[in-house]
Chains A and B, each alone.
Chain A
């Protein structure tokens, strides 16, 4: 405990005033909470994945890697694994480009900024489970207003129309469109967070640098690619990493929108772990599926850590 700063180490009459006692004491409840309800459950997840645990039975036996073998053989699991990566990468690539455009617009001063900000932030600030319900109707197989608009414009529902003669596209009923819908909703949801993070970065770029570049004759694109983007790189990484964490592990969008359907075409790791582990009661295989989330998350955490360290040095 010699790590304490000398200036606090002054001996005092009361034991509570001693840093060596007080500092660990104040932090102990937080550590305890996290160890008991995050650390131990994580170890349990690992142990379950190596056992035959079910919701029904009280006893469990060690079965080695059998669950992982079973899970990997399962075509639905492989689809879920692939989907998790596709949904995350595609949506985050879209988010990054759109957020950059939006942040450059939002940094300007204009009338009604608070309203624009409030509306743009809605997908992130409102509970995602409720926002997704709005999308359910937008993508409904019969009442979708998107379909209505397409029909109105003559792109759908007439013989020879561009998108087919059916009166609806069945967004959530056709595998490719269902995947597109899930990506769209993830993009919609994460865009505000990435935008405000980038905005915080943009405001931290000293205006003199940009002004000086403009005086020297650098146009908008040159300033964007040679000054703003390089200076924003660390914070863009933060935005993307958070986006990846939230999208990769999300279950609400898929659960509410498609339940993984049609025929598992939008199943992701989180939803498949839920259906296996909770609804089917196979804790062991559910835990094995969920554990596949971990390597990706550990990678993201390591990257963040490096980033935090580097900026501390700088």
Chain B
């Protein structure tokens, strides 16, 4: 469980991001986010791939992603090793395997807070939170779109190089996060 301890140890001493004015343009990206936010609950199987410079081959995992309003997101990894990540309001709890549950308030871990924003804010249609950390631009149309999120807040710049969301209408197909160190994490959601 050391990764969670590290999360806490890192977070407890980490600085907080600064407030940035949200840019609420009524462009395509705004429409996409608004569309996504209209779905009150979702349950979708996912596949995840992590490509890391430190590793000779990618890490693969799969499970189910659950979302419901308000502000509840659960990433239930089933293979290769069960893990349950629950983001509920401003609390995150992580349980790996049969280990104990770790609770981390978002206010304590800015890195985790950014991850939560990246994953949950699009599902909530929360443009304000997204615009706080990212500059959004979109290609395509509402039927098939690609949303590029370039980090804006110092916290986001520090951790992330680029986030790409792909989808159709109000469904997300994939979420790709390019870390600041070049590692890539790709989450594919099965329809």
A-B complex is real: no
